[in-house]
Every structure is written in structure tokens, then in C-alpha cells.
Amino acid sequence: MLPAPTADDRAAWSHIDAADLLARAEADLGTPWPQPLASQAARVHRDGDRSTWEDAAFARQHRLSRAVIAAAVTLEEHWIDEVVDGVQLLCEQSSWCWPAHDDVYEKSRGVLADVTDPFLDLGAGEVVGQLAWIDHVLGAQLDARAPGIRSRIRHEAEVRVFRPFIERRDWHWLGLDGDVHNWNPWIHSNVLTAAVQLHDDPEPLIDLVIEGLDRYLVSLPADGAIDEGYSYWWNGACRALEAIDVLEHVTGRMPASIEALRASVSFPHRCHLGGEWYANLADGQARPRVHQPWHALHRAARSLGDADAAAHAAAHRGLPASEIAGLGRLVRELTDPEWREVAVVGSPLPRDVWLPSTEMLLAREREGSPDGLALVVKGGHNAEHHNHNDIGSFIVASDGVPVIVDAGRPTYTKATFGPERYSIWTMQSAWHNTPTIAGVDQSPGREFAASEVEVSLSEDVSSLALEIGGAYEIDGLSWWRTAALDRASRIVRVSDVWRGSPTGATRLNLVVAGEVTPLDSGVRIVPLDGAMPVVIRWPAGIRCTETVRELDDPVLSDVWGERLTRLELDVSAREDAWITVERDIVAPATSDSEDER
């Protein structure tokens, strides 16, 4: 039995307040079910569009999840029928694999899934996990209303998931080549859930899941950092935590290597800038969607005794339950009495965070408050998972709101994870807060990395110094960058000193969000969300130009609004430069020489 009450447990389900979910489920009734089409799947290989098919497939699953909750709360027959319709549609869907992941094109140049050779990916895992939770919660009701539907679920799970999982052991996400990433726990957790609920002899599957999870767990660094970034914690380390919770509940067994996973529970709040804003290194969004499974973090933090992580999760207790993160997570959120009763508290907001495995420093003016300035700096290398070419890049926030920013990533397409990845502007170092040296930007690859990294944390000043010249394919280059938050002066200072760069145009790039006004040797920026304005200054004589990037992709514009601005400081004639950032409590006068910027 999965660790949640079935719909037969009326004490658990009848009192649940799911008015928002039920209202949206009511709006679904009588409307056509979302239908992912073959022509939409083929677009992945025609024009790179993966969202059109995925949006329809996700909408179908979300509608089904809403219906499941309505059925479990009310036990009304029309909701059971709605669930049966959704289950049957999933069982009839030719493939559960997201088309962008399927290997059929590489094998045969086919643009549609091969139903005789199912590909086990994130999508297939999510569907089989959803069906397992439906079978658990509404099994008795399905038997009474639609005899045979549960047998169909088991048949499809066997053909599309269990058999491929056992018979084919060359899945890249297993990490047998040493490259282990978030697909591993994401898929293994869903396979485990399905095996427990839908398979007559789950032990061989459970053994393989434990073996695979161990491979992920031993890859985690001791500091608990996730190189894929904050957004991917939820579908990486969090999935592993949820799998272990199910495993312990069902079997009493545990993977061998969980110490680093314990440390990872602190990663979300250690990336938190304030409010809805996070340090969004790699492919994450600086303002992620709010529908994260906070109860899963809270449950893990409770189990592991991490009070700060539990407090960060509890700060989000008032958000309405959502189907977006998956049915299993929704069921557990609604039926977890400890989560329902937890008091809403503030996020911990530590003063300093240093993660040596990813070489990321986050420093704020004082612990427990987003007020004032915060600084994020990263070293690392340019072959991290979901990598951007961003060695030495930094973020500065005012009142927890990023002002000098990391743009994040746009909508995923076929190009995002292929050889064209670094043709995407958000992945390039020129659109991060890094230098462009003699016209050369950073290169992808493990060898392009920071070196001689030195962190210093004190009451007055927190700083990170690093050599970033190794991130550029320029022989003989030495480029030292030091970024510091001076709490005594309430100022951020980023200093660069370089030697050995070839002749050519060299500039410091600063990507900023908000309203930009020119000053003499600087700019004033009014940030988003009403945060206090800041002034950025640099040495006299450095010419600044602007490039405005209009944002027409909602994944970016939902975070930053209509545009981002890149400030380009021409330092071609210099061997050193600096910028300072301080909050501007009284607005200064603007410069008349706007055309010189």
C-alpha cells in the first residue's frame, strides 16, 4: 500500500477542503479532453517545437488529477466516470514518452513513437506513477464502476514501463557511465510507486530501483548542492527523498548512501533571495512557479530533523493545493495531517551560504531578512548539468529582488539539449555578468573552469575571488575577479584585474532588470516588485552602451517582464576595472550625456 489513505477512508477524505480544485474540475466537465496529436509530436523533428504536444499531454494529466480528487472527496459517480475516461485516454495514448526524449528518430528516422519499442523517459514515468496513485486511491470505486479498467492499467504499465525497465539496461539516466542527473531519481521514484501498486511480484523491480537510486545518491556532493540549480532540486533530490519515503513505508529498506541527500534538504532555502526570488543558476527561473510540493520538503525536513528547511517549507503553507506537480504529490499534500496543521513561519534566510562543490557564494546584509543587498557569485566549470557558460558570473539583489540578474532559460525546444544549445542567447556568457575578452566569450566543456577559488566570510565582508581566464580559449590569459558584499558600507564591489589578453574589444557585461536611467559613470536602476532602487558605478572614462533584449517568451517574460537590458562597459584600453552597487535611497540627478552610454 502506498503511504496515503484510499478513498474508502472517509475520515481522511470527506473533510478535505479542495474547493479550488473542485471548481476547476467542475469547469472541465462536458468539455473535450485535451488531445496530444501526432502532427504535434512530429514538430519536435520538423521545427524543434516540443511544447505544443507536451502542453496538451500535461493538460490531459492535470484534468485527470483534478477529477481524481473530486472523486475521492465526494465519491459521486459522475466523477468516477470522469476518472475512467481519463484513465482510458492515457491507456489509449500511443506513447507516454515525451517526443523530444524518444530515440525512435535516431534509430529509424521516424518522427512518431514506435509502440513496439517504448522509450522509458520522464513522461512515461509520470504517467505510470499517476495511474498507480489512481489505482491506490480509487481502486474499489473503479472496480465497481468500470470493471476491467484496473487490468488495463496493469497491462500498459507492464508493456510500457516494467518490461523496458528490466530488459533494457542501457538507459542513459541509469548513470552507468558515471553521468548521473535528475532523470535518475525522477524515473526511479515513479517506477517504484508503480511497482509497489501495480505489479504482482515487485521485488525484482524494487531491487533495481534501489541499485539505481544508490548510483544517484553517491554522486551528490557532501554539501548537498545541486549543480542543475534550485529548480531541479524538486525533480532530482526531492524525488529521491520521496522514493526513500515510499521504500521505507512499503519494505522497511533504505539505500546505502543517503548522507549527502540529508544535506540537500537545505539546498532550497540556501538558494532563497527573498519572497518568490531565488538564485537561479543553470536552467532555473529566478522567480519559479509557486506550485512546488512544499509539503514534500517539509516531510523530508521533519524526518531528517532540519528545522531551517522545515521552516522554509512552512513559509509556503498557505498556498492552494495544485495538481501541477503530480497526482501523488497532490494526494500526499491533501492527506498529510501534520502538513495541514503546520504553522506558517518565515524563511530562515541565512547570512552566508558557501557551497564548495559548485563554488557558489550567497551573502546578504543580515540573517533572517531580505532587506538590503545580496550577492551571489559562482565559479565551477562549463560542463555542469543544465550548464550555462557563466564562470565568474554574479547576481545582485535589492530587498531580495534580483537587479543584476541571471536571465535563466527560455522555453525548451529540440535545440536546448542538443549541439545547438549554446546558440541560445541565455546560455551564452555574453548574456551573463561576465567579460567578453577580445571578442571571445566562454566555451562549454569541463576544461573551461574557474581556478584558485578563495572564499572569505566575516561579519563585515563576504567575498569570493577566482581566476576565470581558464573559461576562455585564449592562450596566456589571466583574469582575476573578486566579488564582495561589504556589510559595513552596505555596498557590493566587483573588481577585475587581467593580464595577457590579446588585442581587441573587451567589455564587461551586466544584465539588469528594471528601469535604467543614466548617470555620470554609472546607472540608476528601479528594480521589479517595488524593491529599493540601486546605483551601479564604474571608473570614470569607461564608455557604456546598452543592448535591450525584448522578451517574447513567457518563460522569461513571466519572470522579468517585457525586457532585459545588457550594459556593456568598454574596458579594451585597461587592465583593471571595477563596479560598485549600492542602494539609492534618494534619487540622484540624471546625466545629460545619455548618447555617450
Predicted structure pTM score: 0.94
Q: Which run of H or of E encompasses 535?
A: strand 534-537
> How far apart are alpha carbons 80 and 143 in whole angstroms?
10
Q: Is the pLDDT of residue 578 over 80?
A: yes
> How far apart are alpha carbons 337 and 12 in whole angstroms?
9
* Identity at 459, one-letter amino acid code: E
Beta-strand relationship, 445-449 and 451-457:
unpaired
> How far apart are alpha carbons 472 and 444 in whole angstroms?
9
> How far apart are alpha carbons 100 and 41 in whole angstroms?
8
Span 179-214, pLDDT tens digits: 999 999 999 999 999 999 999 999 999 999 999 999
C-alpha cell at 519: 548617470
pLDDT recorded at residue 258: 82
Backbone phi, psi, residue 152, to 5°: -65, -40
Backbone phi, psi, residue 398, to 5°: -115, 125
Backbone phi, psi, residue 281, to 5°: -70, 160
C-alpha cell at 105: 528518430
User: Residue 516: how many CB atoms within 10 A of its CB?
Assistant: 17
CA 422 to each of CA 104, 209, 426, 445, 512: distance values in angstroms, whole numbers, following the listed order? 25, 34, 8, 11, 21
Q: Is the pLDDT of residue 593 over 50?
A: no
Question: 51-74 vs 122-145: helix axis angle to the nearest 10?
Answer: 30
**Mean pLDDT for the stretch of residues 132-143:** 98
* Identity at 201, one-letter amino acid code: D
* SS3 (DSSP) at 512: strand
> How far apart are alpha carbons 252 and 166 in whole angstroms?
23
pLDDT recorded at residue 504: 86
The pLDDT-based confidence of 252 (bands split at 50, 70, 90) is confident
The pLDDT-based confidence of 502 (bands split at 50, 70, 90) is confident
CA-wise closest residue to 264 among 316, 295, 219: 219
Q: Is the pLDDT of residue 588 over 60?
A: no
**Mean pLDDT for the stretch of residues 303-327:** 94
Core vs surface per residue 10-44: b (16+ CB within 10 A) or e: eebbeebebeebbebbeebeeeeebebeeebbbbb
Three-state DSSP string of 371-409 = CCEEEEEECCEECCCCCCCCCCCEEEEECCEEEECCCCC
**Mean pLDDT for the stretch of residues 467-492:** 97
User: Residue 589: how many CB atoms within 10 A of its CB?
Assistant: 9
Beta-strand relationship, 435-436 and 401-404:
unpaired
User: Residue 427: how many CB atoms within 10 A of its CB?
Assistant: 24
The pLDDT-based confidence of 596 (bands split at 50, 70, 90) is very low
The pLDDT-based confidence of 94 (bands split at 50, 70, 90) is very high
Span 261-287, pLDDT tens digits: 999 999 999 999 999 999 999 998 999
Q: Is the pLDDT of residue 550 over 50?
A: yes
* SS3 (DSSP) at 434: coil
CA-wise closest residue to 96 among 124, 115, 121, 117: 124
Whole-number CA gyration radius for the chain: 25
**Mean pLDDT for the stretch of residues 100-105:** 96
The pLDDT-based confidence of 144 (bands split at 50, 70, 90) is very high
Span 213-230, pLDDT tens digits: 999 999 999 999 999 999
**Mean pLDDT for the stretch of residues 374-397:** 97
Q: Is the pLDDT of residue 120 over 80?
A: yes
The pLDDT-based confidence of 590 (bands split at 50, 70, 90) is low
The pLDDT-based confidence of 257 (bands split at 50, 70, 90) is confident
Q: Is the pLDDT of residue 479 over 70?
A: yes
CA atoms within 13 A on the CB side of 514: 27
C-alpha cell at 297: 520538503
Q: Is the pLDDT of residue 587 over 80?
A: no
Q: What proportion of the chain, given as a percentage, has pLDDT over 90?
A: 92
Q: Is the pLDDT of residue 343 over 70?
A: yes
pLDDT recorded at residue 291: 84
The pLDDT-based confidence of 594 (bands split at 50, 70, 90) is very low
Span 13-37, pLDDT tens digits: 998 989 999 999 999 999 999 999 9
C-alpha cell at 284: 532555473
pLDDT recorded at residue 501: 73
476, burial (CB in 10 Å: exposed 0-12, middle 13-18, buried 19+): exposed
pLDDT recorded at residue 586: 63
Beta-strand relationship, 272-274 and 401-404:
unpaired
The pLDDT-based confidence of 595 (bands split at 50, 70, 90) is very low
Q: Is the pLDDT of residue 359 over 50?
A: yes
**Mean pLDDT for the stretch of residues 551-577:** 97
Question: Which residues contact residue 148 at a Cβ distance below 8 angstroms, ignoring those fewer than 6 apart?
Answer: none
Q: Is the pLDDT of residue 255 over 90?
A: no
523, burial (CB in 10 Å: exposed 0-12, middle 13-18, buried 19+): buried
Core vs surface per residue 477-492: b (16+ CB within 10 A) or e: bebbbbbbbbbeeebb
